[in-house]
A and B are shown apart, each in its own frame.
Chain A
Amino acid sequence: MSQHRIPAWITVGVIPLANVAMAALAAALVFWYLNINPLDALQAMVYGAFGSSYGWGYTLYYMTSYIFTGLAVAVVFQAGMFNIGGEGQAYIGALGVGLVCLGLGGHVPFIVLLPISIIAAFVFGGLWALIPAWLQAKRGSHIVITTIMFNFIAASLMNYLLINFMKPAGTMSVESAVFDPSSWIPKMHEALALIGISIDRSPLNLSMFWALFVAFAVWFFLWRTRWGYEVRAMGSNASGAQYGGISIPGTVIMIMIIGGGLAGFMALNVVQGEAHQIKLNLVNQMGFTGIAVALMGRNHPFGIVIASLLFGFLTQGGSELQFEYSVDARIVVVLQGLVILFSGALQNMMKHPIERLYLRVTSNRRKASEELAAEA
């Protein structure tokens, strides 16, 4: 096996596409059962997600969130751990962003406020991950369990803070005051309008560029710096890393803070870019979906950007579907579930046949060329 390896375009291109195709086939069966022509459903989804600048806007808006929560899972996974706490880390990140915008909005110019809110998103999300990380590093409490529990604690804490402190007097709904407009991250349609391009209104805002930059930065961190080297060493062989003088507890804590911080960035998109206030349950399962995104994107930052686009498409296309055919809103979850099932749990189902096929084709070709060479 060692001599003829499978090229990257098969591993990161063909196999994930085949997995998605399998998921699509299974989804087709679901639609068929619901008496919806699968091709019509697909068309509705594609049109809904990509057919207009409005659809595109929503798709990319969701993509932005998924990039952050996906990266939050992936960096930690590179260290060999499973961060299930993206949901809570993003929620607490939103608290950081909200406090900055509520406190400084209107008092300082946006250009000053934005770096502060970015730092706040990272620090709040990161500190929320620090506690489970510390417990794992020093006490051996399993990080999967603690991060799950911290999602619930985050939700309760935010409930408490919203109801008791942040809800403006006299309102009924559990949400903070709306931020000062000067603190809002500009919407894409507004920004493009400045340079004369007109697109439809959508929640898409400039934090998308930050997401793409962060994905690149994560790649650089993991594969170009000595800290990333230590993270990857620990992820693939912890005792080897220890032998190499890498501090396991230190690395656990560092990478969890980074993971939590990345999840916290999601609040820039959802809170500072779109809602402009802290709302109850604003993360809305996107932290959990980040796990699927990371799985689908093979825990690689560039893979995650692509997987985020796919999940953005599913989310937006799925809600169009719900609108068009009045199917249950949870059809989106069903579709996501199928993608996770086929590209996560069943990923080897397509992997081995495809790899074998590739090896057979190339070995035949090699034999043929050797024969040609022998004849000549």
Chain B
Amino acid sequence: MTAQTHSAAEYALELRGIDKHFGAVHANKNIDLKVEKGTIHGIVGENGAGKSTLMSIIYGFYEADQGDIAIDGQVLKIRDSKTAIASGIGMVHQHFMLIQNFTALENVVLGAESGELIDDSLDKARTELNRLSDEFGLSVPLDQPVEELSVGFQQRIEILKALYRGARILILDEPTGVLTPQETEHLFKVLDSLKAQGTTVILITHKLREILAATDNVSVMRRGEMVAHVKTAETNQEELAELMVGRKVLLQVDKGDSAPGDVKLSVRNLSMTDSAGVKRLDNVSLDVRAGEIVGIAGVSGNGQSELLETLAGITPVDSGTIDLNGHTLDVQHPMNPSQVRKAGIGHIPEDRHRMGLINTFSAYEAFVLGYHRNHEYNGALQMKQGAIIEDCKEKMERWDVRPQDPYLKTANFSGGNQQKLVIAREIEQNPDVLLIGQPTRGVDIGAIESIHKRILEMRDAGKAILLVSVELDEIRSLSDRILVMFDGTIVGEVPADKADERTLGLMMANIVPDDIKALQAEEPA
């Protein structure tokens, strides 16, 4: 590190007029940003607003077409991430970049070895990491393979990696997506102590509540432009949401009381072991009635996906019984996804890219996936392309899918519109039971509002809805009852009115608070 010759520059990072095109897409338009030294600076914006592009420019993955980047008041040309690291920038990506079968220590040293022999580097790193851990509350089991560590620990390793390389500006991209509320809280404490030691933190997120909780200043991006810089203390969620979307948004949905009817979906003692021999579902039982939304909360990867996929007929049942709208699904009576659909079950999958859509298909083709054998879409030999396209056009209009072009490749729609395509497809078939996974993942705030409204409309129309989401706010605002999953089991049930964040957070870590225990004891099993 060179001696600080500059008169202590006020800004750790300063961007002036950053401009970036990808082909015809103007991803960043004349961006100015000043990040004060030793602060936590939030950057919010919808998907596609240009946040990731901007961070990639700072980290040297892309080069800006125009504009300057100044670090500590010094203008630098950042051509690659090596330069970025050397200038003290560290980045924690949304998807961790760790070697799964390496230990934490080996992962930290990787790429920053100090000599030919690895042992020296490891020793040196161990001393340094112990110091860093103590200083910032970032303790990590250094000698355990990363694959055995929880996501929270893995994230700490990513942070340590950046600090070990001398990061003075730490960029975190959507760091809380995979954390429990308690882990999130701990992360924010770590960020605070980093700040106290003079590190500058840039926090990119779409969760407005976290911005308010953790940052000093916040910058808002919309459609490639920086639309506002505000002091966190002087703003609120509503204002930020409005800045992000460009119009007023309703964050809380108005929900009337539910009128539960008959049980439409009933699961008893369901267990499932995956091909690697790991028990993914362990003795799960639940009921969903017509006209109610049952939410499943939990940190992602605790069996929610497996539950949905088993109910949808994608993964076979190992043991236990499922009653799907009057049809039995168990080991003796397996059902495949098309039989499940015929039984009146609609399934909006968690991951629209992996499952819900075929990205190379045109919108109209993706629009019949799962229903492509239906009578109304087929002639004797060929599919009724004209009828499918007409149908697709009509539903696109009804659901306000934009652009309204049935021929456009599904990959070329925005995330929100892709999700609307999937939801429209499933709901328009008028199922009795809806399995919904992460309905608003990667969807703009504006679209979230309308998707939530539709889901409530379905409930009020008497559908039984099982909703899986890792967004606690979503679960809380939509569900009538909330079940919490941990490690393949259902930890407990919380009525919607008792579901505050602390309670859910504890249960997501497999701790049931006493008041909930008492509540469950009252109810007959």
Contacts and interface: CB of A to CB of B under 8 A. Distances in A.
Q: Do A and B bind each other?
A: yes
Contact of A226 (B336, B347, B373): B373
A243 interface: yes
A245 B337 CA distance: 5
B412 interface: yes
Contacts of A233: 358, 361, 369
A88 B151 CA distance: 50
A243 B383 contact: no
A232 interface: yes
A232 B341 CA distance: 21
Given A220-B382, A236-B359, A243 B336 contact: no
- Interface SS of A by simple majority: helix
Nearest to A3: B24
Contacts of B340: 245
Given A229-B372, A229-B383, A245 B336 contact: yes
Nearest to A237: B358
Contacts of A5: 412
A173 interface: no
B383 A244 contact: no
A140 to B, nearest CB: 11
Contacts, number: 85
B492 interface: no
Nearest to A359: B23
A7 to B, nearest CB: 14
Contacts of A236: 358-361
Given A224-B385, A225-B381, A243 B360 contact: no
B24 A243 contact: no
B358 A359 contact: no
Interface string A1-12: 111110000000
Contact of B349 (A2, A224, A243, A363): A243
Interface string A223-259: 0111001101100110111111101000000000000
B16 to A, nearest CB: 26
Best-buried of A4, A5, A229 by chain B (most CB within 10 Å): A229
B369 A240 contact: yes
B338 A241 contact: no
A183 to B, nearest CB: 31
B25 interface: yes
Contacts of B336: 245, 247
Contact of B354 (A1, A220, A232, A239): A239
A313 B493 CA distance: 72
Contacts of A1: 22-25
Contacts of B24: 1, 3-4, 359, 363
A134 to B, nearest CB: 19
B25 A3 contact: yes
Nearest to B22: A1
Interface in B333-349: 336-341, 347, 349
B49 to A, nearest CB: 16
B19 to A, nearest CB: 16
B52 interface: no
Given A4-B24, A230-B372, A240-B357, A245 B341 contact: yes
A240 B355 contact: yes
Given A242-B314, A243-B314, A245-B336, A224 B355 contact: no
A94 B24 CA distance: 54
Contact of A244 (B339, B360, B369): B369
Nearest to A233: B358
B406 interface: no
Interface in B381-428: 381-383, 385, 411-412
A229 B355 contact: no
B356 interface: yes
Nearest to A235: B360
B83 interface: no
A240 B356 contact: yes
Interface in A201-218: none
Contacts of B507: none
Contacts of B358: 232-233, 236-237, 240-241
Contact of B370 (A2, A3, A237, A245): A245
B378 interface: yes
Interface in B284-325: 312-314
A52 to B, nearest CB: 42
Best-buried of A1, A2, A220, A236 by chain B (most CB within 10 Å): A2
B511 to A, nearest CB: 34
A239 B355 contact: yes
Contacts of B444: none
B383 A4 contact: no
A243 B385 contact: no
Contacts of A2: 25, 411-412
A220 B379 CA distance: 14
B225 interface: no
B468 to A, nearest CB: 15
B312 A243 contact: yes
A232 B361 contact: yes
Interface string A336-376: 00000000000000000000000100010000000000000
A244 B412 CA distance: 21
B365 interface: yes
A226 B357 contact: no
Interface string B3-25: 00000000000000000001111
A63 B336 CA distance: 43
Best-buried of A225, A239, A245, A359 by chain B (most CB within 10 Å): A245
A336 B296 CA distance: 58
Contacts of A240: 354-358, 369
Nearest to B381: A225
Contacts of B381: 224-225
Contacts of A229: 365, 372, 383
B338 A245 contact: yes
Contacts of B378: 226
Contacts of B349: 243
Nearest to A362: B24
B383 A224 contact: yes
Nearest to A4: B24
Nearest to B370: A244
A243 B347 contact: yes
A225 B382 contact: yes
A69 B341 CA distance: 39
A1 B411 CA distance: 11
A225 B412 CA distance: 24
A363 B23 CA distance: 9
B369 to A, nearest CB: 4
A237 B354 contact: yes
A365 B439 CA distance: 41
A224 B365 CA distance: 11
Contacts of A247: 336
A33 B372 CA distance: 57
A230 to B, nearest CB: 7
Nearest to B339: A245
A116 B313 CA distance: 42
A226 B370 contact: no
A224 B381 CA distance: 8
Contacts of A3: 23-25
A350 to B, nearest CB: 18
Best-buried of A226, A233, A244 by chain B (most CB within 10 Å): A244
Contacts of B337: 242-245
Contacts of A243: 312, 314, 337, 347, 349, 355-356, 369-370
7 contacts: A3-B23, A237-B358, A240-B354, A243-B356, A245-B336, A245-B340, A363-B24
Given A229-B383, A243-B370, 14 more contacts: A1-B23, A1-B25, A2-B412, A5-B412, A226-B372, A226-B377, A233-B361, A237-B355, A237-B357, A243-B314, A243-B356, A245-B313, A245-B336, A245-B340
Interface of B: 22-25, 312-314, 336-341, 347, 349, 354-361, 365, 369-370, 372-373, 377-378, 381-383, 385, 411-412
| Nearest 6 A/B pairs, CB to CB | A245-B338, A245-B337, A244-B370, A243-B355, A244-B369, A224-B382
